[in-house]
Amino acid sequence: MKTYNDVYLETRRALRFAGVEDAGFEARILLSAAADKRPEDFLRDLRLYPGEDFVQRSKEYLDRRLAGEPAAYIAGSWEFHGLELEINPNVLIPRSDTEVLTDAAIDFLRRRNGARVLDLCTGSGCIGLAVAAAVPDCRVVLADIDRRALMLAKRNALRHKLSQRVLALEADVLAPPARQLGQFDLITANPPYIPTGEIEGLDPSVRDYEPWTALDGGGDGLDFYRAIFARWLPVLKPEGCLALECGEGQSEALRRFGARAGFTEITPFRDTGGTERALTFQGRIQSESDI
């Protein structure tokens, strides 16, 4: 008879052999989902003997992973900024790179009380919910064009007991915001930013499984940033902050958009790989035509 630990070691070995980078981590994610346990409970129970259904399910999950499906979709959950979030193929899997933007946003809110936050292209809700969890007196609107993503984001808000301060709103960033939205102290966004022509060349685990609507940023990848600067600044308070994630090599273009829109304080934030991954825009001088 095998213990959970035996299955864990076999799974880890198979993942390693297939070239999965963080094989131990992924094995724990897949097997705790197969056991229907939280990862910490799975680790506690490693010396126990699982039932046959666990053994079957763990094989199925391993096969799916080896066929290229991301562990987050198989397990149906993923951790972001310390929050365990439900994840499904309607949304992008939260990347650790996005914690850079999230930390910058949280840092800005430390100086504000009772702030209103708008998280555009929210997907799973990861940024907005991490902000809501870290800043107890802020109120957050999670916005997305996809209703299925919004339903998921709402479940994630409930799961973390944040729904009293978090609303979900259907909104298309490429169109103007609804008038009744009011103004926000902080707007965050990790919009689709991959140039359309580059999507085919992405890693198959991204290209074949993640939603293209969450990746495709138009011809040069910058369509959503253009729309945010052109249309969404009226819902940012004059003393507010806009915080955007961007792709490699895009930060220069974003600085230009920001400067042209009148922002005087533009701050870049680098990810662990040294790439300028997020920018915050503050100190906006409004032109006559804005007022």
- At closest approach, how far in Å is the CB of 252 from ligand GLN? 17
Alpha helices in the chain (DSSP H): 4-17, 23-35, 39-44, 52-66, 71-75, 98-109, 126-134, 147-159, 204-207, 223-227, 251-260
Residue with smaller CB distance to ligand GLN, 92 or 134: 92
CB count within 10 Å of CB 285 equals 10
250 forms part of the interface with ligand GLN (CB under 6 A): no
> Closest Cα to residue 130, out of 245, 275, 15?
245
Q: Tell me which residue has its CB nearest to ligand GLN.
A: 193
Residues 210-229 touching ligand GLN, rule: CB under 6 A, are 215
Residue with smaller CB distance to ligand GLN, 169 or 206: 206
Residues 93-122 touching ligand GLN, rule: CB under 6 A, are 95
Packed helices 52-66 and 23-35: angle between N→C axes, nearest 10 degrees:
140
| Residue in 125, 177, 192, 240 binding ligand GLN, rule: CB under 6 A | 192
C-alpha–C-alpha distance, residues 159 and 78, integer Å: 13
Residue with smaller CB distance to ligand GLN, 192 or 240: 192
Which of the stretches 52-60, 146-154, 168-176, 192-200 binds ligand GLN when contact is defined by CB under 6 A? Answer: 192-200
- At closest approach, how far in Å is the CB of 212 from ligand GLN? 10
Residue with smaller CB distance to ligand GLN, 78 or 193: 193
C-alpha–C-alpha distance, residues 151 and 198, integer Å: 29
Kindly determine how many residues on this chain lie close enough to bind ligand GLN according to the rule CB under 6 A.
9
The phi, psi pair for 266, rounded to 5°, reads -120, 120
Residues 33, 75 contacting (CB under 8 angstroms): yes
- At closest approach, how far in Å is the CB of 148 from ligand GLN? 18
C-alpha–C-alpha distance, residues 290 and 152, integer Å: 36
Residues 162-191 touching ligand GLN, rule: CB under 6 A, are 190-191
Contact residues for ligand GLN (CB under 6 A)? 92, 95, 190-194, 206, 215
